[in-house]
């Protein structure tokens, strides 16, 4: 989230030039690189994903898992996320360095992270995601709420000065203020986290947000919205520098009211009245005049400065809840078209991918030059187009979403060729929560984009409260007994049941049951009588455990000695080191310590099955790689020039030591060592 006046040197020049000659609204950019990474195109010249152009599932999944890995690493090292909006990094050590100048986007970050983790937890089954989010939310509840005697009472402040451990606003705009629409956004996040955890303190926090929105509601018009974009928390006044009476973003409070009404929690009668009045205002003004202003926490209110967040978030809301808007089909299509054609900010066509920047007034815009930034905002556009395809079947929107998501994948990790509006910056909001949550919407909308050789729950109409993945099984629970869920499996299910009762396979989900695509193994389940769902089938492979060289963090070019991770692999202190991100490896990886090494070994503490790993070959020629273990038949692979590949050993038995051998071993980079302590079922490989 960036200000219009936060341009770097290139954009300052561009802004001055635009005063005489307006920018081109839609430009075609024949880019050779995106975020500094070489593009890869299909036979028709259209953009393919990064880092594996022939594997959409890997590339998309790698994007949001990489962003999560960086967040989790920072959490474990007690670093910046609580106190800073953004950071740069040292190009040698890849250690983060905080930005001490820009607003810390506290409530925005909490709400966006909740949306990300709500999707990430069921996808991974990793309980660390819940731990991480709970700590974030608890910190805000302890350090970021307004006093009880304020007009806006016991609700979250929107932002803080960088480094401040208490949140009362950003001094650039003033002190002791908040943004009501973010009270709605954060309140909805509290409520969904209550559904995830069952902890009623988050329900109570959500109800406080709703009560403050009801108390401070005022009938709006074309110049004043039902709640101001920014006001003083003590008395609700909008007079003063940095304050403002108008925001089109009322869908966030509406979402909070909707969910509390559905759960029958709080003052439901008041919620219904205010919700209806806010809805009518939205339909009367922004939906007719397209004055989509008033979102970003670091921008001075300006009725000319439009943004794409509010209309696209409204579009997403009605796509997921079409019963709320009888005209959802036309409204969504018109909003997508408005975002892609408005003259308020530039858009770029990059090898068939539509890239949108985030905001502008027709003369100045945010943010950078094409292919340097705005991955989160393009991800939002792609998500809405993918969801529109899922709802309507219009394949043109699927293709548009696919190309834009492909563009987004080039920004995973911290690529040196990506830039924020001023300096080299990465935002915890944009790159590490908002963008990833919208990319995960893509899997929910188009599940065949998800990895074909893994099992994942991709989306649900309810919150997922617990989940476990096993060999040929997925067992999970949802907050609501009545839910529709989407999975992609690496096995064929023999039985799908809810609450111990088997569901019938059907051709559609007009009633309780499940559908299965025999080709893609996409499973859709409608259950109505139990929260507990069990999917069982036959699978050849166990669920792997993974060593990724980022968790726990070691550091760039550190020689591996002893146990890492603890109790898993023993390193001899001479053969291997941790290498920083390079080429198609967007995170830390494993490489040979010797500059001329042709062979290196490692040893499992206890015998394990090495199932596979990722390997990147940065050279301009193919490389032969041999993988050996005393107990196993040798496997030899060809690693293609300049490519990242996922190699699978096919081994069925445990091994104690592994050796990797190649004349070019020193150049190769390895990551995501997948292993299992469990023996596979015996498989007839002759078939």
Angle between helices 106-124 and 180-197 (to 10 degrees): 30
- Which of 282, 400, 300 is CA-nearest to residue 359? 300
Contact 108, 170 (CB under 8 A): no
Angle between helices 395-409 and 56-76 (to 10 degrees): 50
What would the two tokens of residue 140 be?
């805000």
> What end-to-end distance do the CA atoms of the chain give, in Å?
55
- State whether residue 203 is helix, strand or coil: helix
Neighbours of 635 (CB within 10 A): 17
Task: State how far the Cα of 301 lies from the Cα of 316, in Å rounded to an integer.
Answer: 25
Please tell me the pTM assigned to this model.
Answer: 0.95
- State whether residue 177 is helix, strand or coil: strand
Q: What is the DSSP letter of 322?
A: G
Backbone φ and ψ of 503, nearest 5°: -95, 150
Compute mean pLDDT per 10 residues along the chain, 687 residues long, and list them. 33 35 86 94 98 98 96 81 80 86 90 97 97 94 96 96 92 93 98 98 98 98 98 96 96 98 98 98 98 94 96 98 98 98 96 95 84 90 98 98 98 83 75 96 98 97 98 97 98 97 97 98 98 95 93 92 95 94 95 94 95 98 97 95 96 94 98 88 38
What would the two tokens of residue 460 be?
């649900």
Predicted confidence at residue 687, as pLDDT, reads 28
Q: How many residues does the chain have?
A: 687
Using alpha carbons, list the distances in angstroms from residue 327 to 208, 233, 259, 310, 330: 32, 36, 21, 18, 6
Contact 79, 96 (CB under 8 A): yes
What's the alpha-carbon Rg for the chain, to the nearest Å? 25
Backbone φ and ψ of 137, nearest 5°: -65, -40
Task: State how far the Cα of 118 lies from the Cα of 189, in Å rounded to an integer.
Answer: 10
Predicted confidence at residue 564, as pLDDT, reads 96
Predicted confidence at residue 81, as pLDDT, reads 58
CA 641 to chain centre: 30
Q: Which residues contact 634 (CB under 8 A, 6 or more apart)?
A: 626, 627, 628
Q: Give the CA diameter of the chain.
A: 78
Q: Which residues contact 254 (CB under 8 A, 6 or more apart)?
A: 184, 275, 278, 279, 282, 317
Predicted confidence at residue 7, as pLDDT, reads 29
What would the two tokens of residue 582 be?
């390079």
Using alpha carbons, list the distances in angstroms from residue 82 to 39, 133, 135, 416: 35, 12, 10, 24
- Share of the chain residues as helix, strand and coil, in percent rounded to the nearest 5: 30, 25, 45
The pLDDT tens digits of the residues spanning 25-44 come to 999 999 999 999 999 999 99
Predicted confidence at residue 96, as pLDDT, reads 85
Predicted confidence at residue 540, as pLDDT, reads 82
Q: Is the peptide bond before 355 cis (omega within 30 degrees of 0)?
A: no
Backbone φ and ψ of 33, nearest 5°: -135, 155
Predicted confidence at residue 5, as pLDDT, reads 28
What would the two tokens of residue 89 be?
């990094």
Task: State how far the Cα of 69 lies from the Cα of 76, in Å rounded to an integer.
Answer: 11
Sole residue written with tokens 């909003």 = 335
Predicted confidence at residue 678, as pLDDT, reads 79
- Which of 418, 534, 564, 422 is CA-nearest to residue 473? 534
The pLDDT tens digits of the residues spanning 45-68 come to 999 999 999 999 999 999 999 999
- State whether residue 24 is helix, strand or coil: coil
Backbone φ and ψ of 208, nearest 5°: -60, -40
Sole residue written with tokens 């009605």 = 318
Task: State how far the Cα of 519 lies from the Cα of 193, in Å rounded to an integer.
Answer: 35
Secondary structure of 71-87 in HEC code, one letter for each residue: HHHHHHCCCHHHCCCEE
Contact 185, 252 (CB under 8 A): yes
Task: State how far the Cα of 56 lies from the Cα of 352, in Å rounded to an integer.
Answer: 16
Q: Which residues contact 209 (CB under 8 A, 6 or more apart)?
A: 155, 156, 183, 184, 186, 187, 190, 256
Q: What is the DSSP letter of 276?
A: H
Using alpha carbons, list the distances in angstroms from residue 200 to 33, 205, 207, 265: 49, 9, 10, 11
Predicted confidence at residue 418, as pLDDT, reads 80
């Amino acid at each position: 989230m960036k200000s219009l006046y936060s341009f770097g040197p290139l954009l300052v020049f561009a802004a001055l030039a635009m005063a005489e000659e307006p920018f081109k609204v839609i430009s075609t950019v024949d880019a050779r690189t995106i975020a500094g990474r070489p593009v890869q195109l299909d036979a028709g010249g259209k953009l393919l994903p990064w880092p594996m152009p022939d594997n959409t599932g890997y590339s998309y999944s790698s994007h949001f898992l990489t962003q999560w890995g960086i967040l989790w690493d920072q959490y474990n090292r007690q670093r910046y996320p609580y106190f800073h909006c953004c950071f740069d990094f040292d190009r040698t050590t890849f250690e983060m360095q905080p930005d001490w100048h820009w607003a810390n986007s506290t409530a925005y970050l909490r709400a966006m992270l909740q949306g990300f983790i709500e999707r990430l937890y069921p996808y991974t089954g990793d309980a660390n995601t819940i731990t991480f989010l709970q700590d974030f939310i608890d910190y805000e509840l302890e350090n970021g709420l307004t006093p009880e005697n304020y007009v806006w009472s016991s609700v979250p402040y929107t932002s803080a000065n960088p480094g401040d451990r208490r949140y009362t606003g950003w001094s650039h705009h003033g002190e002791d203020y908040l943004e009501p629409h973010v009270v709605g956004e954060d309140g909805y996040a509290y409520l969904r986290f209550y559904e995830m955890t069952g902890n009623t303190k988050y329900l109570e926090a959500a109800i406080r947000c709703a009560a403050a929105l009801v108390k401070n509601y005022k009938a709006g018009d074309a110049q004043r919205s039902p709640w101001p974009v920014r006001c003083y928390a003590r008395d609700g006044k909008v007079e003063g520098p940095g304050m403002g009476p108008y925001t089109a973003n009322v869908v966030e409070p509406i979402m909070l009211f909707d969910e509390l009404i559905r759960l029958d929690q709080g003052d439901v009668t008041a919620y219904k009245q205010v919700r209806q009045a806010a809805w009518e205002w939205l339909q009367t003004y922004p939906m007719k005049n397209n004055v989509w202003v008033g979102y970003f926490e670091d921008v001075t209110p300006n009725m000319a400065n439009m943004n794409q967040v509010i209309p696209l978030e409204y579009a997403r809301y009605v796509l997921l809840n079409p019963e709320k808007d009888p005209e959802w089909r036309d409204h969504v299509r018109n909003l997508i078209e408005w975002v892609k054609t408005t003259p308020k900010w530039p858009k770029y066509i990059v090898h068939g991918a539509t890239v949108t920047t985030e905001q502008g007034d027709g003369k100045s815009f945010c943010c950078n030059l094409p292919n340097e930034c705005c991955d989160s905002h393009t991800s939002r556009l792609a998500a809405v187009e993918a969801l529109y395809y899922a709802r309507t079947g219009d394949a043109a929107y699927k293709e548009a979403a696919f190309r834009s998501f492909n563009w987004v994948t080039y920004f995973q990790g911290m690529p040196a060729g990506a830039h924020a509006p001023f300096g080299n910056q990465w935002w915890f909001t944009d790159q590490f929560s908002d963008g990833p949550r919208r990319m995960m919407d893509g899997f929910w909308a188009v599940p065949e984009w998800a990895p074909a050789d893994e099992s994942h729950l991709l989306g649900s109409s309810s919150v997922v409260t617990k989940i476990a993945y096993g060999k040929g099984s997925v067992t999970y629970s949802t907050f609501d007994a009545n839910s529709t869920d989407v999975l992609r499996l690496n096995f064929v299910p023999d039985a799908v049941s809810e609450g111990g009762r088997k569901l019938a396979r059907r051709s559609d989900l007009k009633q309780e049951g499940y559908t299965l695509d025999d080709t893609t193994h996409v499973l859709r389940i409608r259950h109505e009588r139990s929260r507990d769902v069990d999917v069982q089938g036959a699978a050849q492979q166990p669920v792997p455990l993974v060593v990724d060289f980022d968790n726990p963090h070691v550091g760039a070019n550190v020689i591996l000695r002893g146990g890492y991770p603890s109790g898993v692999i023993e390193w001899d202190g001479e053969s291997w080191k941790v290498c920083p991100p390079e080429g198609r490896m967007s995170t830390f990886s494993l490489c040979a310590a010797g500059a001329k090494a042709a062979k290196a070994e490692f040893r499992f503490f206890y015998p394990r099955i090495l199932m596979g790993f990722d390997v990147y070959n940065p050279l301009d020629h193919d490389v032969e790689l041999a993988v050996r273990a005393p107990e196993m038949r040798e496997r030899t692979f060809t690693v293609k020039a300049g490519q990242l590949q996922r190699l699978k050993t096919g081994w069925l038995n445990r091994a104690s030591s592994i050796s990797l051998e190649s004349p070019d071993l020193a150049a190769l980079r390895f990551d995501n060592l997948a292993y299992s302590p469990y023996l596979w079922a015996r498989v007839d490989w002759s078939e």
